[in-house]
């Protein structure tokens, strides 16, 4: 029993230290700087600061559902996927959006720019047919450059 209690205490301690070291509470905010806590996201954060959307939209405005439970589920899902990928170093370079994130991004583009694009975007069901970022890649982040080169928006 003492061995089990020691193991549980150790796991809680390591987990708490990791959460503190990773600035875990910052991810509960909408501060774009929290996205750059992980060094791999620094190019995306830096390019967003130079983008046309810098004064109007944060990371969460584009990359998460706008509110409610869906926002927090998406935030937790992305946090888990990012933590796992960066810890195990098994992410694609340059970083790619997952299909679920492509849909969220597209929905947010249309939500913010509805009046401007209501007659322009016919099919939003596929990534390239009717996807705002297919033509407007440099709007949210400015010119693309990940650690391994230009951003890859394909979902191959």
Give the orientation angle of helix 99-112 with respect to helix 68-88, to 10 degrees.
140
More confident residue, 144 or 65: 65
pLDDT confidence band for 127 (50 / 70 / 90): very low
More confident residue, 134 or 73: 73
CATH of domain 35-135: 1.10.3820.10
pLDDT confidence band for 130 (50 / 70 / 90): low
Read off φ and ψ for residue 149, nearest 5 degrees: 125, -160
CA distances for 52 relative to 47, 49, 137, 139, angstroms:
10, 9, 12, 6
Count of C-beta atoms within a 10 Å radius of residue 39: 9
User: Going by C-beta distance under 8 Å and a sequence separation of 6 or more, which residues neighbour residue 2?
Assistant: none
pLDDT in tens, 58-87: 999 999 999 999 999 999 898 888 888 888
The DSSP annotation for 84-111 comes to HHHHHT---SS----HHHHHHHHHHHHH
Read off φ and ψ for residue 146, nearest 5 degrees: -90, -175
Looking at residue 148, its pLDDT comes to 45
Closest alpha carbon to 63 in 127, 6, 140: 140
More confident residue, 149 or 26: 26
Is 114 buried (19+), middle (13-18) or exposed (0-12) by CB count in 10 A? exposed
pLDDT in tens, 84-120: 888 888 888 777 888 899 899 999 998 998 888 766 6
pLDDT in tens, 13-54: 988 888 888 777 777 778 888 888 777 788 888 888 888 888
Q: Where are the domains of the chain?
A: 35-135
Looking at residue 68, its pLDDT comes to 92
């Amino acid at each position: 029993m003492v061995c089990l209690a020691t193991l549980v205490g150790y796991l809680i301690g390591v987990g708490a230290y990791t959460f503190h070291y990773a600035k875990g509470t910052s991810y509960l905010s909408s501060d774009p700087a929290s996205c750059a806590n992980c060094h791999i996201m620094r190019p995306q954060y830096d390019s967003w600061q130079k983008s046309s959307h810098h004064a109007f939209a944060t990371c969460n405005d584009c990359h998460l559902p706008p509110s409610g439970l869906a926002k927090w589920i998406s935030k937790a899902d992305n946090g888990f996927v990012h933590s796992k990928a960066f810890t195990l170093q098994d992410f694609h370079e340059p970083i790619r959006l997952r299909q679920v994130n492509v849909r969220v991004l597209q929905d947010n583009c249309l939500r913010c720019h509805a009046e401007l694009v209501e007659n322009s975007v016919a099919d939003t069901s596929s990534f390239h047919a009717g996807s705002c970022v297919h033509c407007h890649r440099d709007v949210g982040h400015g010119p693309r450059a990940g650690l391994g080169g230009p951003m890859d928006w394909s979902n191959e």
